[in-house]
Structure 1
């Protein structure tokens, strides 16, 4: 695998049982690159290790006054210089390739897992942890994979040189061999402490990043309540903690570097002193002493490779363990079991996919591959089963009187949303709306994990993940707008039946387009060329909601679930949005979680969910007249007290006053 070939067509199935197993799997996944690195490393190191021998021969030739031997030694040295240069250059090239490709493989796997889990990921792992794994941790993992082959080359070369020295000069060779063992092991006791300090610094930095992101996201609210200084003080304290942790980590690194410089220097002094005494006693020739000295100088280089690999492994193992934990996450299905491997599709799932398409009233026109996140609570794909209004509603093309499909059904709450209808859902518990909306998108929300949501009679959790996301799009109450032009924001997987202009018109975005065009001089008056800032921070809350709604309408999914899509919009605009939404989605299934009377009045049916169950269904005006609990939620008025209870309370009050 070369860098130009990235991304991988298939990054593979990682071994996530532990961090060590993940590192071993990565090494096995690029054996070709590891073999190339080992080969070039051996060429480089063996050539470098041969230079002291040739230098010793040259010294002996000078002492013997032999011009021929000196010329031969010079020629060999020139050849070795070429092989050292070529080997070092190619080793660096292949090593960097191994580093980048290993990191890219892990990055692809993390992106795939995040796409599969969607909003479930941040419920099970902190968002800051995911960001840290996908940035700093994959760099350490790539470092370990890359350094493994260079370590292997250094180990083989060191064993060969030490063995040769013991044969060439047994006394000096034994001294060098023992010294190398001591130097290789000297740094190991310091690495766990250095790793612990680095992890502590990483944790503090992640906390500071999360705090900064939360502060920026809520800046308008903080200004409104005068809380900027409070949060600024918190960030200053956390920032100082990061600085102190970084200083402590740097001190440990400095100690390790000092050990790596001081101990090899001591070994070299010992070898020179012992060898010089042997030369004075006549036990070795000057050329032999030069050869041993050059060999020791060379061994200091693979020694650094040993220590580098030890550090790389020590720092990458916790990073690999964190990455393995994220990669091991799976979507939980109705029975609480993990999703089966993607490469194996059970026959009953194939049958379920066919059943959904057979029971629906939509004819397939093509497959639209999703390559972008739409910025909802899920990474959503546009429907691949898009048909004409006539094919969805019957030969006449009229919705009224045409038979509806089974639509969406939640057996846990009893909620039903028939095909072709705009169904509004009112929840007695405001926090339950978001959970139920996510559940309709395929997330089992029951405590025991039972009761999968059904689409046309087939369980969504029984479908492959891509298929479920193709059919159902969920937009939560705080959708994300990515930075870029408005055209790029609206460039999402879609059926092609709903144009961008029509979606923007239905979402009542005319004033938003004007504001974007005026605020972007480079757009030259074209709103689609206007730039949207990160998370739409330059827009008001209502403007962001309307752009997000338009983006969801463009996708034209079979089932669209909206959680409070107009909570930040004024009543006049909300009424127009309700009308446009119903007209645009008249042949699709739409579920809106809201308590707005304007949206509720436009809905075909309203479902009131209380204590986890659908307790009432009907038209908004009927429910507002006859259901006191529903009226209390929608109008935000307290429920009237029953007459017997009112009399009892009055009696208690009178008794208390007389006492």
Structure 2
């Protein structure tokens, strides 16, 4: 994952690394030039060296400014590209990326983890800069004094290796920190989404306690990661300081013995102090790489998640007649379900077991394939059809469908008066201050539950798919509006196949026929009126 992030920005990483390395190399020359000027005795030569020093400062400033900008830009672009890959995977028609992960956890992976993984481009450039500074400083010290040069040459790799070892606990704890933070975000998102329900059942305190426990776990993991980072930084700083002090001490002894001049001593001490910068950079590189590896592993898990359903290569029926048939389907609450929906039929499906209703929706929308049996559209087995192509023919409108931030009309996608009238969304538009241009807010939270449900139903009708599956589309509306919607559905979809998975008497009364799914199989098949009189199970599910 990290190699891909670097490879995608190879040119910018190389240029940024070169400029930052040039900055460190010229910065290493500053104490050398100062030492030369201290030993210089002629004014003209001193002025010449001052000119050289000014030129070095110009190069130093230019390379740092533009090198940093290019390296930061490559990190941002890499993170953006990686974020797009994560979003594409999460939104892929085959699904699977969300399995075992809360929405908030996926959000954390697509933001914070992606940012840390993309930052590896900046880390590489900074590492090149640190190594360049060390290399130039070491060469100069070798030319000044062989003992000092050898000390730096041998001591620097040892310090870098120790920094790598000290970063190992940080990598493990950083991974745990991100996992706990993602889980806390997911729990928070779930609680906010279900706040109205929690208030309705009086479960606010239990929800608060649940989040408090999750938040404390996340805080504890963050503190452990912070302590590991502080310990690593502190130890590296202490070791680096001791190493630089040793270099300065040996240089002073050599000057005292007359082995090196006063200017060379100043250069040596200046270089020893300068070397703290590259060594600190390498310590930072180790720390950032540890966190980047942990985040990249989490991102890779999402990208490598197997799809919930296979892609499929069989073309969808064209044109779609709308005949749907299930034969011996087993999945979740379905146990050998046989069901046939005729083209253009308005069929009601009553499933007292929520697991059976959910499994039926998954099979029809192909968000999951049946464990046994076959689901067909116009005689074509759906398991062989690409999910994206299938959803151009069959639209499954979930009960808890979210609206997108924007206006009401933007959420509909297409302005169709028939869809607005059939869903009762025209009344919603008339009641809003700015009509169809009114903003619905994030997830449609500025609307009431009934308004949000009617707009979502209008969006499903406006899509005008050959087969439309609606799951409890009127649970938040009043009885008068529900009766209007029941009458409007038939008018809005003439000749189109519509399946209503619901327990609403008003909607079921408008259906051509109704099937009762009990025990995972079709237990009864008749009109709503007939089933009300003939089936106790149906009466309990629909009228109780």
Shared fold by TM > 0.5?
Answer: yes
Q: Which residue of 2 aligns with 1:561?
A: 469
Candidates 232, 253, 270, aligned match of 1:277: 253
Q: Which residue of 1 aligns with 2:441?
A: 533
CA displacement 1:165-224 (0-9 Å, x = unmatched): 334311111122233233323333332323333344334433433343333333334334
Q: Which residue of 1 aligns with 2:266?
A: 290
Is 1:410 the equivalent of 2:326?
Answer: yes
CA displacement 1:401-446 (0-9 Å, x = unmatched): xxxx352223323323333221221224222112211210123342
Aligned in 2, Cα 1:280/1:95: closer, same or farther, shift over 3 Å? same
Aligned in 2, Cα 1:114/1:240: closer, same or farther, shift over 3 Å? closer
Is 1:60 the equivalent of 2:39?
Answer: yes
Rounded to whole Å, the distance in 2 between the matches of 1:140 and 1:176 is: 32
Aligned in 2, Cα 1:257/1:201: closer, same or farther, shift over 3 Å? same
Rounded to whole Å, the distance in 2 between the matches of 1:331 and 1:574 is: 37
Q: Which residue of 2 aligns with 1:312?
A: 288
Rounded to whole Å, the distance in 1 between the matches of 2:220 and 2:535 is: 61
Aligned in 2, Cα 1:206/1:443: closer, same or farther, shift over 3 Å? closer
The SS at the match of 2:229 is: helix
Is 1:34 the equivalent of 2:10?
Answer: no
- Deviates most, 133-142 or 22-31: 22-31
Rounded to whole Å, the distance in 1 between the matches of 2:376 and 2:29 is: 73
Q: Which residue of 1 aligns with 2:394?
A: 472
Is 1:590 the equivalent of 2:498?
Answer: yes
Is 1:420 the equivalent of 2:344?
Answer: yes
Tell me by how many angstroms 1:486 deviates: 1.6
Q: Say whether the 8 Å CA contact 1:158–1:302 is kept in structure 2.
A: yes
Instruction: Calculate the TM-score normalised by the size of structure 1.
Output: 0.75
Is 1:489 the equivalent of 2:411?
Answer: yes
Candidates 336, 351, 356, aligned match of 2:317: 356
Q: Say whether the 8 Å CA contact 1:442–1:452 is kept in structure 2.
A: no
Tell me by how many angstroms 1:109 deviates: 0.5
How many pairs align? 536
Tell me by how many angstroms 1:598 deviates: 1.8
Rounded to whole Å, the distance in 1 between the matches of 2:184 and 2:396 is: 31
Rounded to whole Å, the distance in 1 between the matches of 2:33 and 2:257 is: 24
Q: Say whether the 8 Å CA contact 1:410–1:440 is kept in structure 2.
A: no
Q: Say whether the 8 Å CA contact 2:23–2:61 is kept in structure 1.
A: yes
The SS at the match of 1:446 is: coil
- Residue pairs, 1:56-205, within 5 angstroms: 56-61=35-40, 65-117=41-93, 120-205=96-181
Q: Which residue of 1 aligns with 2:332?
A: none
Rounded to whole Å, the distance in 1 between the matches of 2:39 and 2:387 is: 74
- Deviates most, 35-44 or 108-117: 35-44
Tell me by how many angstroms 1:267 deviates: 2.1
Q: Say whether the 8 Å CA contact 2:18–2:128 is kept in structure 1.
A: no
Rounded to whole Å, the distance in 2 between the matches of 1:623 and 1:223 is: 36
The SS at the match of 1:356 is: coil
Tell me by how many angstroms 1:528 deviates: 1.2
Rounded to whole Å, the distance in 2 between the matches of 1:424 and 1:42 is: 70
Is 1:621 the equivalent of 2:497?
Answer: no
Candidates 233, 239, 243, aligned match of 1:263: 239
Rounded to whole Å, the distance in 1 between the matches of 2:78 and 2:307 is: 26
Aligned in 2, Cα 1:541/1:120: closer, same or farther, shift over 3 Å? farther
Q: Which residue of 2 aligns with 1:249?
A: 225
Aligned in 2, Cα 1:455/1:568: closer, same or farther, shift over 3 Å? same
Rounded to whole Å, the distance in 1 between the matches of 2:462 and 2:443 is: 19
The SS at the match of 2:31 is: helix
Tell me by how many angstroms 1:112 deviates: 0.5
Q: Say whether the 8 Å CA contact 2:97–2:303 is kept in structure 1.
A: no
CA displacement 1:297-330 (0-9 Å, x = unmatched): 3322222222222112211112111111111123
Is 1:339 the equivalent of 2:311?
Answer: yes
Aligned in 2, Cα 1:332/1:244: closer, same or farther, shift over 3 Å? closer
Q: Which residue of 2 aligns with 1:328?
A: 304
Rounded to whole Å, the distance in 2 between the matches of 1:223 and 1:329 is: 36
- Deviates most, 575-584 or 195-204: 195-204
Rounded to whole Å, the distance in 2 between the matches of 1:473 and 1:312 is: 45
Rounded to whole Å, the distance in 2 between the matches of 1:452 and 1:37 is: 57
- Residue pairs, 1:504-523, within 5 angstroms: 504-517=420-433, 523=434
Q: Say whether the 8 Å CA contact 1:428–1:611 is kept in structure 2.
A: no
Aligned in 2, Cα 1:105/1:455: closer, same or farther, shift over 3 Å? same
Rounded to whole Å, the distance in 2 between the matches of 1:76 and 1:339 is: 65
Aligned in 2, Cα 1:230/1:425: closer, same or farther, shift over 3 Å? closer
Instruction: Calculate the TM-score normalised by the size of structure 2.
Output: 0.90
Q: Say whether the 8 Å CA contact 2:105–2:183 is kept in structure 1.
A: no
Rounded to whole Å, the distance in 2 between the matches of 1:58 and 1:313 is: 40
Q: Which residue of 2 aligns with 1:546?
A: 454
Rounded to whole Å, the distance in 2 between the matches of 1:613 and 1:119 is: 27
- Deviates most, 499-508 or 313-322: 499-508
Tell me by how many angstroms 1:293 deviates: 2.3
Tell me by how many angstroms 1:244 deviates: 4.3
Q: Which residue of 2 aligns with 1:433?
A: 357
- Deviates most, 111-120 or 571-580: 111-120
Rounded to whole Å, the distance in 2 between the matches of 1:567 and 1:141 is: 44
Q: Which residue of 2 aligns with 1:232?
A: 208
Aligned in 2, Cα 1:244/1:329: closer, same or farther, shift over 3 Å? closer
Q: Say whether the 8 Å CA contact 1:596–1:634 is kept in structure 2.
A: yes
Aligned in 2, Cα 1:77/1:532: closer, same or farther, shift over 3 Å? same
